[in-house]
Structure 1
Amino acid sequence: MFRFPALSILLVLISVMIFTDRASGQQSAFHSGHPVLDQIRAAESAGEISKDESVLQMFYAGYSPERLNDAFTPADGGSPIKCMVPFYQHYNEVKPELSSATIAEIEELTYHSRTATEFSYVTPSGKFILYYDTTGTDAVPAEQTLQEAVDENIPDYIWHAAFAADSSYRHQVEQLGFTDFILSSPYEIDFQNFGFYGTTTRSGSTSYITLHSNFNGFPLNTHPLGNRIGALYATIAHEIKHAIQYAANRWRGSAGSFNWIEMDATMMEEIVFEDVNDYYNYIRFSFNSDQPSNNSIFGNPQDPTPGAYWHVTWMLFFAEKFGMDFWVDVWDDVAHQPEILFTDAIELQLGSRGETFESNHLQNLTWHLGSGQRFGGANFGFEDRVNYPIPFIQSELSAIPDSASNTSLRSLGAHYFHASASGPALGSPQILLNSPTPGVGVGVIGIFHDGSSEKRIATQSNQSTPTNLELVTGWNWSDLSDLYISVVNTNRTRTADYTVEVRSALPQQSLLANNYPNPFRTATTIEFSLLSEQKVRLDVFDSLGRRVSTLLDRTLDEGVHQADFNGSGLASGVYFYRLITDSDITTNKMLLIK
């Protein structure tokens, strides 16, 4: 089949202008997340290379890495580009400023046509036709070891591609109910040896997919058949979702912007082939690291969604909480209203389920906070949370009560905090949040000594007044080992200044807590609370019942009080402390070890 030059038909998910989503207040700016490409942009910004040279170098990186300037060629060969979408977008924006020679060279680079040595194979479903070479630059791996491939006289690689295409179509279109993108069978899939995973190109009223021809040297994944097959499967699921998007609304408006369509397509990799986990490369610092990527919500929660591949988990939250019907319904709304803001489409479907965007965004970012190995015992959160990276903590709240104040938390962004629960012994964690900006919410996660975790969240029902929230968790400090707090700006148009404070909510009765530390070597602290002003006596006795110290004998105000006991002059053993108030007598024991 004759192929027109790719760029002449607005190749690969192009948005010809930067799109600003009014619902998030954030611009879908050009950002690759790839070190070589960002280095090229930096060189242009610094005036070290011209705009023409900058654009050419970007396309060399994707289509002809051997032609890259030495200054941009990584010593280790570098990593492949996930997607060329932002570069086509950038190219179209600056095209009027480029020379005719640069434009001609880029169009030549991206041109792909049929060859005399090319083979074709129609998948078992009859839905797809795969065009491939077994010789030359674009050759697919020639191995033919699978019996199914031998029977069809095709390479194993093509058999796997056919399986993945049929499986992805069956799952996304026939089972889930997304828009059918195949206007007339079979739909075309090509293979090419370039520097990225794959592309979906529109061609008139339909589209076609081009995949990498071998995936040699691509990032790690967890597929049991190896990285090559895993990358092939994930890319096919990803690109088929792009084809569905194009069929739904022609990549128009907010829903067609780079960040949203890439988040959506990356999510489908996990939904269709959950044993691949290629998306770990975008949420982790490196594939086998427990540290987060700086572009992900885990690593940079203050950067608002949408965020392309790195924010895929934001979409997975809705898939896991509501099921994939949620996203099918969102895209149905987009198909019927192509120019609708994507966040408005999300809000419509949340409203139909009796939910709000603000509450779910707060829950979403609190799920991100509750990720990593330490949350294995949680009764909430992502199904795969123990394999997710450890979130970035904005600051530590070391002594309770303690507080933190921050300015300019971006719209839809979050800050994460950690508070040690080892100090307080009485009462329940209480979080106070104040902000002049409406719509700031708070989430709290408690990790208990038995390894379990629970969460609490609070949002303000009136989204038009300044935020003034009080969240009492109902947990006992003595049962907790750690406390994590998410402050989330759910306001979609304004940044927020805020103050968050952690303190203890008093028990509903006078109470004597366990001393800490216990056992102790020299000194320990005894804590108790009073509901009202009372006369108090606090004595310490040895195991024979002899009083060894009177720590308090006076009238105290209501609230939490502490008394220090020094046992440096006493022998090791069990000691008892007794609190006498106007209304009660309570005794606890402690162990002195020398």
Structure 2
Amino acid sequence: MHKSQYQFIKAIAGALLVVLALPFTSFGQVGVTGSQLHKIQESFLQGEIDVETAALEQVRLLYATGGLGEQSKVLHKCATPATMFVYNFRDQISSSALAKIEAYQNPPRSASKSLTTQTYISPSGKFEIEYETSGPDSVSVVDDDENGVPDYVDLVAESADSSYRHEVLRLGFKDPIPAGSTYRIVLENLSFYGETRTTGSFPQTYIRLENDFKNFPENSHPEGDEVGAVYVTVAHEFKHAIQYAQNRWAAPSGALNWAEMDATLFEEVVYDDVNDYYNYIKTGFGASTPYSSSIFFAPQNGTPGAYYHVSWMIFYSEVFGDDIWQEVWALIEEDNFLSIDDALRQVLPGRGTDFPITFVQNHLWHFASGSRIGLDDYGFAEKSEYPFSNVDTMFNTVPLQKKEVNTIRPLAARYFEVYPSSGDNGMIDIAVDFDSSQVGLGLLFYMKDGEMKERVATGEGKSQLYVPTDIAWENIDRLGVVIANYSGETSTRSLALAMGKNGNAITVRDPEYADLPKSFRVYQNYPNPFNPTTNIDFELPRSAFVELDVYDITGRKVQELTSRFYQLGSYSIPFNAQGLSSGIYFYRFQIDDAIFTKKMTLVK
């Protein structure tokens, strides 16, 4: 088996957990689904059907019923994944089967249709739009601007030029249009939004696009759903053309899930005001509940996940800018078998961070969406329009016992939510036991003053990841906890979550904290006697609020040395008695609920 085919199969395998959750979803008059193509590819992976049958079944699904003549017809998001499958396995498909596929995809054109086909060159000169003005593939002939070209064709040309400006000229992606050529877009009555097809002459492709987008799912474009659908579909399919030009749709980045995530992202990059992707992360465009294949619904299923995981890529665009994807795809062009997540692992150090940290932050943003948004600007720009995220467990008090956590698959996470009760106090510290593979821990503090605070840590090659904080349970309304597996290859197992508070200390086994104190300790000041300065040392086995005051022999407080939160560790606080008389003084610690008092002597 060729390496590209092995990678394609591996990429399908990574998608199976997403596929199993994919339902048929109805949007108004037309049913929209992305699951059937996935399921056929799954059957191939499981050995239930051979590669030739898988290729033929996908093509039949898309083409056998023709266009949207009936309102009850099932509508597919994008047909390009089927084209990718045939392209990657073409050397294993018989010539007779390839001929059948060709017949489905390119039925013979009638003489009358050939005579009525018209073309229009976009204003940039880059795109040639083919269209009909009669018959089943006809576009609307309305021409309000009276330029002799149907307004719908003008709209397609405008969106193609805009996509080219954003994706090639502004962001610097490889130009899929050979010098001196125009790029062909064919308008037809389809059972899907669009498709990017190869021409047999690398790197050339062409796009097939729905001819009217009537009764398609809702979006938010101010000029209407049909206009919005044209815009995002052209941006989406043109990104598929760029993918082909850069790595010939080689898996894993060129397989269904990563490729569709990437193309769907560029709908949002080019046309931020359309938001067609809301239909794939929520149960309906205006709903607040998460779609069953989205990260919001099932973060434990793992990325990639085609259209339904586009929010994962939006995170990186919003944090680092859209140009990060040009860097990612430049690496993929050099190494066709590089996955998008592995390319990010190479790019992010140049942005001052790393993939494990950002992977955890990505899931914290998903947690803080929908009904869990805070009062500040933390998280996605459109977080209020996103659905809420499902959690494994919600705690109404800080648990005293460890919480066993199920295995976390590659590039997946599990979410927890804690509402501290009135009796929960003391500094927050969290530990995750695991199998020494890798784990990420994200904490999201919903402060009582409305601020959101974030803590992120990662660990590998040890059996516990411990995170102390300087935040008290009594100062938060709730805590979001994300336990994540940032590996693209191996699962994280043997997980348990522990939470510390006053009266419920965590047993710390993280080797990073091996030399830390095992109990509260307050030491005798040194030197003693002293004149006029001395040092007072103490040790904390966990984060705590510390007050340290000095009193004279009559019990009068003469100086406050500290009153604040300290993380676990060893500390030394200086005391200067310059303005005090010789004599005996007492220093008094209050560490959370514990009190320690010692005597010292000032001799001048």
TM-score (norm 2): 0.73
Match of 2:497 in 1: 500
Q: CA deviation at 1:79?
A: 4.6
**Which residue identity is paired with 1:315?**
M
For residues 239-250 of structure 1, the aligned pairs below 5 Å read 239-250=237-248
Conserved 8 A contact 1:37-1:58? no
SS in 1 for 2:261: helix
Unaligned runs of 5+ in 1: 1-14, 512-528, 530-556, 562-580, 584-594
Q: Aligned partners of 2:354 and 2:332: how far apart in 1?
A: 19
Q: Aligned partners of 1:26 and 1:349: how far apart in 2?
A: 23
Give deviations 1:332-390, integer Å, cap 9, x for gaps: 12223333343332211112223221111111111111111431424432111111110
Q: 1:354 aligns with which of 352, 355, 359?
A: 352
Q: CA deviation at 1:306?
A: 1.5
Match of 2:164 in 1: 169
Q: 1:181 aligns with which of 176, 181, 188?
A: 176
Match of 2:418 in 1: 419
Q: Aligned partners of 2:282 and 2:104: how far apart in 1?
A: 32
Match of 2:452 in 1: 453
SS in 2 for 1:457: strand
Q: CA deviation at 1:406?
A: 1.8
Q: RMSD of the TM alignment (CA)?
A: 3.7
Q: 1:278 aligns with which of 245, 265, 276?
A: 276
Q: 1:190 aligns with which of 186, 205, 208?
A: 186
Identity %: 34
Q: CA deviation at 1:122?
A: 0.5
**Which residue identity is paired with 1:500?**
L
For residues 142-161 of structure 1, the aligned pairs below 5 Å read 142-145=141-144, 147=145, 150=146, 152-161=147-156
Match of 1:432 in 2: 431
Q: CA deviation at 1:417?
A: 0.5
Q: CA deviation at 1:230?
A: 0.5
Q: CA deviation at 1:186?
A: 1.6
Conserved 8 A contact 1:379-1:454? no
Match of 2:306 in 1: 308
**Which residue identity is paired with 1:272?**
V
Q: Aligned partners of 1:189 and 1:117: how far apart in 2?
A: 16
Q: Aligned partners of 2:245 and 2:35: how far apart in 1?
A: 32
Match of 1:117 in 2: 116
Q: 2:468 aligns with which of 449, 453, 472?
A: 472
Q: Aligned partners of 2:295 and 2:414: how far apart in 1?
A: 10
SS in 2 for 1:153: coil
TM-score (norm 1): 0.74
Give deviations 1:497-519, integer Å, cap 9, x for gaps: 211122226632379xxxxxxxx
Q: CA deviation at 1:447?
A: 1.7
**Which residue identity is paired with 2:497?**
V
Q: Aligned partners of 1:354 and 1:92: how far apart in 2?
A: 38
Q: 1:216 to 1:101 in 2, by over 3 A?
A: farther
Conserved 8 A contact 2:546-2:592? no
Q: CA deviation at 1:214?
A: 0.9
Conserved 8 A contact 2:409-2:492? yes
Q: 1:398 to 1:78 in 2, by over 3 A?
A: farther
SS in 1 for 2:300: coil
Q: 1:248 to 1:90 in 2, by over 3 A?
A: closer
Query: Relative to structure 2, which stretch is displaced further, 171-180 or 112-121?
Result: 112-121
Conserved 8 A contact 2:159-2:235? yes
For residues 203-352 of structure 1, the aligned pairs below 5 Å read 203=199, 204-205=201-202, 206-352=204-350
**Which residue identity is paired with 2:128?**
I
Q: CA deviation at 1:187?
A: 1.1
SS in 1 for 2:467: strand
Q: Aligned partners of 1:231 and 1:492: how far apart in 2?
A: 33
**Which residue identity is paired with 1:411?**
P
Conserved 8 A contact 1:372-1:389? yes
Q: CA deviation at 1:458?
A: 1.4
**Which residue identity is paired with 1:26?**
G
Q: 1:76 to 1:302 in 2, by over 3 A?
A: farther
SS in 2 for 1:459: strand
Query: Relative to structure 2, which stretch is displaced further, 330-339 or 381-390?
Result: 330-339
**Which residue identity is paired with 2:546?**
Q
Q: CA deviation at 1:495?
A: 1.3
Give deviations 1:147-205, integer Å, cap 9, x for gaps: 2xx1x211111111111111110111111111111103321111111111111111112
Match of 1:26 in 2: 14
Q: CA deviation at 1:38?
A: 5.0
SS in 1 for 2:372: helix
Aligned length: 492
Match of 2:75 in 1: 80
**Which residue identity is paired with 1:481?**
D
Q: 1:86 to 1:17 in 2, by over 3 A?
A: farther
SS in 2 for 1:458: strand
Q: Aligned partners of 1:93 and 1:492: how far apart in 2?
A: 22
Q: Aligned partners of 1:259 and 1:186: how far apart in 2?
A: 29
Q: CA deviation at 1:55?
A: 6.9
Conserved 8 A contact 1:421-1:482? yes
Give deviations 1:538-565, integer Å, cap 9, x for gaps: xxxxxxxxxxxxxxxxxxx98769xxxx
Q: Aligned partners of 1:103 and 1:182: how far apart in 2?
A: 26
Match of 1:444 in 2: 443
Q: 1:345 to 1:188 in 2, by over 3 A?
A: same
Q: CA deviation at 1:119?
A: 1.1
Conserved 8 A contact 2:77-2:192? yes
Give deviations 1:118-164, integer Å, cap 9, x for gaps: 1111111111110001111111122222x2xx1x2111111111111
Conserved 8 A contact 2:281-2:291? yes
For residues 571-590 of structure 1, the aligned pairs below 5 Å read none
Q: Aligned partners of 1:30 and 1:134: how far apart in 2?
A: 41
Q: Aligned partners of 2:393 and 2:261: how far apart in 1?
A: 29
Match of 1:136 in 2: 135
Q: 1:107 to 1:95 in 2, by over 3 A?
A: same
Q: 1:76 to 1:450 in 2, by over 3 A?
A: farther
**Which residue identity is paired with 2:117?**
E
Match of 1:201 in 2: 197
Conserved 8 A contact 2:300-2:408? yes
**Which residue identity is paired with 2:62?**
G
SS in 2 for 1:260: helix
SS in 2 for 1:121: strand
Query: Relative to structure 2, which stretch is displaced further, 340-349 or 431-440?
Result: 340-349
Q: 1:39 to 1:374 in 2, by over 3 A?
A: closer
Q: Aligned partners of 1:345 and 1:409: how far apart in 2?
A: 22
**Which residue identity is paired with 2:489?**
T
Q: CA deviation at 1:29?
A: 9.1
Give deviations 1:82-117, integer Å, cap 9, x for gaps: 122444456679999999987655432210557210
Query: Relative to structure 2, which stretch is displaced further, 161-170 or 365-374?
Result: 365-374
Q: 1:504 to 1:21 in 2, by over 3 A?
A: farther
User: Would you say 1:409 and 2:408 are equivalent positions?
Assistant: yes
Q: Aligned partners of 2:369 and 2:376: how far apart in 1?
A: 9
Conserved 8 A contact 2:196-2:205? yes
For residues 82-97 of structure 1, the aligned pairs below 5 Å read 82-88=77-83
Q: Aligned partners of 1:368 and 1:283: how far apart in 2?
A: 11
Q: Aligned partners of 1:63 and 1:215: how far apart in 2?
A: 17
SS in 2 for 1:339: coil
Give deviations 1:397-451, integer Å, cap 9, x for gaps: 2331343212321111100011112334522322111111332011111223343
SS in 1 for 2:407: strand
Q: Aligned partners of 1:372 and 1:470: how far apart in 2?
A: 29
Conserved 8 A contact 1:20-1:28? no
SS in 1 for 2:489: coil
Conserved 8 A contact 1:221-1:277? yes
Q: Aligned partners of 1:96 and 1:154: how far apart in 2?
A: 42
